[in-house]
Amino acid sequence: MYRNAMKQLEAWRTSRRRKPLLVQGARQVGKTWLIREFGKNNFDKVAYVSFYDNEDLARIFDGSLEADRLVDALSIASGVTIEDADTLVVMDEIQACPRAIMSLKAFNEQRPDLAVIGAGSLLGIALHRDARSTSFPVGKVSWLNLYPMTFDEFLRAMGQGQLADALRAGNVDLISSFQERLTDHLRRYYFVGGMPEAVDEYAQTGDYGATRSIQLELLDGYERDFSKYASPSESEKIRLVWNSIPSQLARENKKFMYTAVRPSGRARDFETAIQWLVDAGMVMRVPRISKPGIPLSAYEDFGVFKLYALDVGLLGARSGLGASTLIAGDALFTEFKGALTEQYVCQQLIACGLVPWYWSASNSSGEVDFVLQMDSAVIPVEVKAEENLRARSLQSFCSKYGLARAVRLSMSPYRRENTWLGGGATLVNVPLYAAGQLREVLGA
C-alpha cells in the first residue's frame, strides 16, 4: 500500500534544515504504518517506542531533557542502539507525554544529526489543551498532517497504478479516455472510503460486508475515545455533535445548525465539543466567507460554518448506506448523494493541501459549495453529484465579484466554457474523480 505522504517524508529526511517532525492525524489513518515503512526503506535502523499505556517510558522524560541522556534511555526502551544519522527515532502517541513533545527542542538544538519523528492521534487535542503552556517547542519542529487515503491512493491499492499516475499528473487527455473506469472506481471509493484497514480489506477480498464491518468497528473505537479522553459531560456533547453530522449534511443548506444537535442548542453549549472533534481530526470545519477577498481568512464569518466527516466511507457507514445504493444508484438516494459527493470533494481538497471555505448569500438565495485561494486567485467551486450542469449560484457569485475563473466538479468530462458566466469568465468542468488534482488540472 502506497501513501503520497511518503514523498514528503523522503524530502524531510534529506532537507538541509531538517528539524524533528511531528506527524498528526485521526486514529487509524495509517500514521504508524507509514512511519515504520519509511524507516524500513530509508534507514539502517528504527528505534520505535510508544507512549500508549506506557508509564515507564513517560518517566524517562521526568528528568533532564538533555538530548544525549534521552538517546541512551530511548536506546534501552526500544532495544535499538541509537548511534548516528542512519537511525530513525520514532516516539508514537507522543501527545500522552507533554515533556516528550518538549524534548524535541533539545533534539533540534543538541542532536540535529538524528532523524526524530513524534506521532500522535490526539496530538491536536493535547496541544490545544496546553496552548498557554510555554513547553511547546515553537519553531523547533516541522509538521506533517496525515489524512485518510485519497482517491488516487485508493486506485493504487486496487492495482491501478498507471491510472493513478495519470490522475496525479493532471493529464486531462489521458484520464478522459478512461472516464468510465475511473467513475466505476469512484463509486466504490464512496463506499470503501480511505481508511487504510478498510481499503486493504476491500483490495484483498472485494467483500463489501467485511469492509463495512471494519468501518463500524472504527466508528465504535472513535466513540469510545469520547469517554476515554473527555469528561462525562463533555463526551456526551461530543457524541451529540458527532451523531448529528449525517443529518446536517443531508440538508440542502449544509450550514451547521446547533438546533439540529439539540432543539434548544446554542453555540456556547457545543463550541468546545466541536473544537474537540476538529482537534482530534475527526471532523473538518469549513468556514463561511462574506466575500472572496485576498486573503480569504480575512473575510471569515465567525460562527458560520459547515462540518464534514473525516472520511466518506465512514459517513456512509454511519448513515447505513448499502453497497447497492452507492454502486448501482437508487432514486431514494438522490438527496443524500449530494452530501456524500461534497464530503468526498472536501476530503480530497484538504488532503492535497488546499484550504476550503464556502460562501452563501445573506438572504440564503444562493450558495457556492467551496471557495479556494490558489496563489493570488480566488476559485469558486460548485459540486454536482451527477451531470447536472446548471450552476446559477456560481454564475451569480462570479458576476457579482468579477471573478475570472470558476470550477464545476461533476460526472461530466473535462472542458472549458468561455464567457458562460458572463464578463469573460471561464468555467472549467473538472470530473469528480480529479477533485484532488485541481492544481494540476487547472494548470493544464
pLDDT tens per residue, range 364-378: 668 999 999 998 899
388 pLDDT tier (thresholds 50, 70, 90):
low
Mean pLDDT across 186-200:
96
pLDDT more than 70, % of the chain? 92
405 against 159, higher pLDDT: 159
Q: How confident is the prediction for the chain on average, in pLDDT?
A: 90
pLDDT in tens, 132-165: 454 678 889 999 999 999 999 999 999 999 999 9
Mean pLDDT across 220-225:
94
Q: Which amino acid is at 398?
A: C
Please, are residues 256 and 245 in contact by the beta-carbon 8 Å criterion? no
Q: For 359, list phi and psi in degrees, rounded to 5.
A: -135, 140
Q: Does residue 89 have a pLDDT over 50?
A: yes
Q: What is the pTM of this model?
A: 0.92
Please, are residues 425 and 406 in contact by the beta-carbon 8 Å criterion? yes
Q: Does residue 332 have a pLDDT over 50?
A: no
**Domains in the chain, ordered, with CATH?**
5-145 (3.40.50.300), 152-442 (no CATH)
Q: Does residue 198 have a pLDDT over 80?
A: yes
pLDDT at 74: 97
Q: Which of 23-32, 222-231, 374-383, 418-427 has the lowest mean pLDDT?
A: 418-427
User: Residue 247 has which C-alpha cell?
Assistant: 443529518
